[in-house]
Structure 1
């Protein structure tokens, strides 16, 4: 039986890669595990931040688009990212850190059944730290200890991902009937589904909002990627998605993983991505993210690509 074993990564839009690079490394204490370009448009940076080696479920990725405007928030969009931290004391630590570093944030509250601290990056991307409270996380996760964040309170990986749609049941049915997600909570206009029963690292919170569709801009979320173990499993999902009636991209080789893209009936873009081969396929652990990495099919254009990219370090 094939299952979705959790989130793989989540991808956002940024207007300024230099500011973005600073925030996720120097404020959140994540590791930049890959500095590369958008493979479909190599004129723009594609930055990956995560744990020690960018393991599946820890990766926040950003496309730099200098000409985009601001996000007009609305429905039919991925609207918030949960990030797991070890304890309630971690939330207190992060609240104090955000105050010291002038990061927009709220008070410690609850969200998706967990103690939580909402905050935003410099471009208005909405995120929430969640108390993992000692619960299980994937064995592969290795929090990055190379920042000035207290090692007791490091961000572990991705938690609850919030998706706001006009038709809650359509998305819910796709998650449960196609991918085997389990319902953990349901009310009239909100529901929680988990790819692994009882675990937050594959959790999706659906909110229903009948208002206007979100207009994407800086700080908006482009797509959510969920995990497939390998290419064989990805091919299984390709056929299953087609049988469900959705158009797919076909399998795309992203060099660091292989991917399949489709939009569900509210227009939310999902990617299904393989766990491997991973970011160390062209770099040692120690050198991850330091230099510009290009997939082999772009390597011959390195001089041209580097000339068009502004330095971010």
Structure 2
């Protein structure tokens, strides 16, 4: 029996890749680890930010869609992204930094049992900084030493992901019965599950909410990817998904990882992605994120693709 080892990445929509690039590098201090394009529509950027190498579980991914309108918030959507920081003092540091840089944020509070600071990026994407408080982290995560943020306060990687749905029980059943997530708490309106017991880097909070579904736009979350080791595990999950009556895309080769996609009963898009080969398959660690990298099947169209993209730096 295979298990899910945590989050892999999470993908969002941005209207302006240049402004997005500035915020995630210069404000949050993350490394841009891959500058590429949407493989299904090469006219748009696909940017990844994370740790030194964009390790699975640290990756924030953005599709640039210049025509994206405003997000109308609602249910049946992935609604908040948790990012881990080392300590309570880190939350104080970030609150002061957000004040200085005019980043929209709340007060330090509690979320899912942890000290937390809610904030939004320039397009209204909702995020939460969470106090990791010395808890275990995946051993493959590695800090990027050139971050603009001092080492003791840097963002470590992804923590709790919040999903808001009309039917809590159906998503809970998918996480628990199909993927083997461990139930931490469960009420009529909220449940918490972890892919590995006690570990926040694979934690999902489900909130139940009636009403209209979210209308996605800039600052909305497109999908959550969860992590498996290799293609053998991915093939196993492809069969499990089919047996449970869900339709999947089948295994797709994204060059940097292989994955499959399916929608659970509320319509939430979930991707299952392999750890490897990773972003260094076509780049040295030192050169990650600097030039436009393209998967081999798009390389012959490089000139055509590059001429349509606005420079980011």
* SS of corresponding position for 1:54: coil
1:58, 1:158 within 8 Å by CA — same for their partners in 2?
yes
Which residue in 2 is equivalent to 1:261? Answer: 261
1:170, 1:265 within 8 Å by CA — same for their partners in 2?
yes
CA displacement, residues 88-132 of structure 1 (integer Å, 9 cap, x when unaligned)? 000001001111111000000000110000000000000000000
1:29, 1:144 within 8 Å by CA — same for their partners in 2?
no
CA displacement, residues 117-162 of structure 1 (integer Å, 9 cap, x when unaligned)? 0000000000000000000010001122212211101000000000
In the TM superposition, what is the alpha-carbon distance from 1:305 to its structure 2 partner?
Answer: 0.1
Which residue in 2 is equivalent to 1:293? Answer: 293
Alignment: residue pair count: 313
Which residue in 2 is equivalent to 1:33? Answer: 33
Hey, what's the Cα distance between the residues in 2 that align with 1:70 and 1:48? 22
Which residue in 2 is equivalent to 1:92? Answer: 92
Unmatched tracts of structure 2, length 5 or more: none
1:163-178 counterparts in 2 under 5 A? 163-178=163-178
In the TM superposition, what is the alpha-carbon distance from 1:312 to its structure 2 partner?
Answer: 1.0
In the TM superposition, what is the alpha-carbon distance from 1:169 to its structure 2 partner?
Answer: 0.2
Which residue in 1 is equivalent to 2:162? Answer: 162
Which residue in 1 is equivalent to 2:199? Answer: 199
* SS of corresponding position for 1:24: helix
Which residue in 2 is equivalent to 1:20? Answer: 20
* SS of corresponding position for 2:96: helix
Which residue in 1 is equivalent to 2:235? Answer: 235
1:144, 1:154 within 8 Å by CA — same for their partners in 2?
no
* SS of corresponding position for 1:304: helix
Which residue in 2 is equivalent to 1:246? Answer: 246
Matched, 1:53 2:83: no
Which residue in 1 is equivalent to 2:102? Answer: 102
User: CA RMSD, aligned part only?
Assistant: 0.5
* SS of corresponding position for 1:273: strand
* SS of corresponding position for 2:159: strand
Which residue in 1 is equivalent to 2:129? Answer: 129
Q: Return structure 1 stretches of 4+ with deviation > 2 angstroms.
A: none
Unmatched tracts of structure 1, length 5 or more: none
Which residue in 1 is equivalent to 2:66? Answer: 66
Hey, what's the Cα distance between the residues in 2 that align with 1:69 and 1:28? 24
TM-score normalised to the size of structure 1? 1.00
Which residue in 1 is equivalent to 2:272? Answer: 272
In the TM superposition, what is the alpha-carbon distance from 1:3 to its structure 2 partner?
Answer: 0.3
Hey, what's the Cα distance between the residues in 2 that align with 1:148 and 1:250? 40
* SS of corresponding position for 1:68: coil
Hey, what's the Cα distance between the residues in 2 that align with 1:100 and 1:148? 15
Hey, what's the Cα distance between the residues in 1 that align with 2:160 and 2:308? 36
Hey, what's the Cα distance between the residues in 2 that align with 1:257 and 1:181? 23
